[in-house]
Amino acid sequence: MAFCITGSMDAAHDMAQESFVRLLRVNIPHREGSFKAYLSTIAYRLALKERKRESARQSLESADVVDGGPSPVDEAIRDQTERVIFRVMQSLPVEQREIIALRFFGGHSYEEIARIAGVPIGTVKSRIFTAVRNCREKLRHEGVFP
Q: Using one digit for the tens of pLDDT, what is the confidence trace for 17-58?
A: 888 888 788 766 666 666 777 777 788 888 888 888 887 777
Domain membership flag for residue 7:
yes
Question: Averaged over 76-100, what is the pLDDT?
Answer: 86
What's the pLDDT at 102? 86
Q: Are residues 89 and 58 in the same domain?
A: no
* pLDDT over 80 at 66, yes or no: no
What's the pLDDT at 54? 82
**Lowest model confidence (mean pLDDT) among 6-10, 32-36, 75-79:** 32-36
Domain membership flag for residue 121:
yes
Domain membership flag for residue 8:
yes
Number of domains in the chain: 2
The pLDDT tens digits of the residues spanning 119-145 come to 999 999 999 999 999 999 988 888 877
Domain that holds residue 19: 2-62
CATH number for the domain harbouring residue 116: 1.10.10.10
Domain membership flag for residue 79:
no
Q: Are residues 9 and 57 in the same domain?
A: yes
**Where does the chain have alpha helices with state H?**
2-6, 9-25, 35-62, 72-90, 94-100, 110-117, 121-142
Domain membership flag for residue 70:
no
Domain membership flag for residue 119:
yes
> Could you give the C-alpha distances from 109 to 7, 64, 86, 94, 118, in angstroms and in order?
68, 45, 22, 19, 14
Domain membership flag for residue 67:
no
Q: Are residues 104 and 137 in the same domain?
A: yes
| R_g (Cα) of the chain, nearest Å | 35
Domain membership flag for residue 26:
yes
